[in-house]
């Protein structure tokens, strides 16, 4: 609980320190991604502003849904190898309103699409999920943030973090590791370094081996060996 409060109190401030680079869209809306080009995401053109985060008591974690709605066994998602099959299954799942499948099922489907490297499609499906009120958790948002980073749109990933906060989703070490890696993929290593230092200073998460390795490899990649 204490860690959660620290994150709520400080994540907005960490974004302010990167003012001009990180932003939160008005009303915590998901960015207006464009899929006109398969390998890119359109950057929103509306006026951006920073806003405070608020928690939502309706948050649901993946563990809370493990036993619900077993109509779609995991083997179904493991066997998906074609995008058309994934989209067809998604349509079937969304048509089950008002009793939608659990967050676990939706997230497993997103993971399957992401593994096929259809990053833009994963983000599009996420938007459709939120439009119909499908549940999300930190696993869901982490997948979407990874897609943003793979499309060289790490800044958009922070908008997803903000949207998650509105839904009661608290970022974890995987969230921040993905964002750090996104910066490095975009050759924004100094921004990654500043964010990493703030995470440590404010104790927003406990760095793990993946996070440390991400930073070390990123710093060495750009010849900043003394810092690494």
The pLDDT tens digits along the chain (228 residues) read 555 555 544 444 444 333 333 433 333 445 555 432 333 333 332 222 223 323 333 334 333 333 333 444 556 787 888 999 999 999 999 998 788 999 999 999 999 999 999 999 999 999 999 999 999 999 999 999 999 999 999 999 999 999 998 899 999 999 999 999 999 999 999 999 999 999 999 888 899 999 999 999 988 887 776 665
- Is the Cβ–Cβ distance between 147 and 131 less than 8 Å? no
Mean of pLDDT over the chain: 75
**Distance (Å) of CA 59 to CA 63, 86, 168, 196, 216:** 12, 26, 5, 26, 34
pLDDT at residue 104, as a whole number: 93
Rounded percentage of the chain residues whose pLDDT exceeds 90:
54
How many C-beta atoms lie closer than 10 Å to residue 67's C-beta? 9
For residue 166, count CB atoms less than 10 angstroms from its CB and return exposed for 0-12, middle for 13-18, buried for 19 or more: middle
Distance, in Å, from the CA atom of 14 to the CA atom of 194, rounded to the nearest integer, reads 10
pLDDT at residue 121, as a whole number: 95
Distance of CA 117 to the CA centre of its chain: 15
pLDDT at residue 60, as a whole number: 41
DSSP 49: B
Give 140's contacts (C-beta < 8 A, 6+ positions apart).
Answer: 103, 106, 107, 110, 126, 129, 169
Q: What is the pLDDT of residues 20-42, one digit of tens each?
A: 334 333 334 455 554 323 333 33
The candidate with the shortest Cα–Cα distance to 104, out of 80, 127, 71, is 71
Distance, in Å, from the CA atom of 174 to the CA atom of 204, rounded to the nearest integer, reads 12
């Amino acid at each position: 609980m204490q860690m959660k409060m620290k994150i709520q109190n400080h994540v907005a401030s960490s974004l302010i320190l990167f003012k001009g680079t990180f932003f939160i869209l008005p009303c915590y809306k998901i960015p207006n991604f464009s899929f006109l080009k398969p390998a890119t995401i359109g950057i929103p053109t509306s006026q951006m502003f920073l806003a405070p985060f608020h928690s939502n008591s309706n948050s649901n974690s993946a563990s809370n849904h493990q036993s619900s709605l077993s109509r779609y066994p995991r083997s179904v998602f493991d066997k998906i190898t074609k995008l058309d099959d994934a989209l067809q299954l998604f349509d079937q799942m969304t048509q089950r309103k008002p009793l939608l499948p659990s967050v676990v099922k939706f997230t497993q489907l997103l993971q399957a699409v992401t593994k096929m490297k259809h990053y833009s499609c994963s983000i599009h499906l996420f938007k459709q999920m939120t439009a119909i009120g499908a549940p999300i958790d930190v696993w869901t948002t982490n997948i979407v943030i990874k897609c943003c980073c793979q499309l060289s749109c790490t800044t958009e990933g922070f908008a997803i973090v903000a949207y998650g906060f509105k839904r009661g989703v608290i970022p974890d070490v995987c969230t921040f590791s993905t964002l750090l890696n996104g910066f490095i993929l975009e050759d924004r290593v100094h921004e990654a370094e500043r964010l990493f230092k703030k995470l440590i200073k404010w104790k927003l998460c406990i760095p793990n081996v993946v996070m440390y390795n991400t930073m070390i490899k990123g710093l060495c990649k750009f010849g900043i060996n003394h810092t690494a």
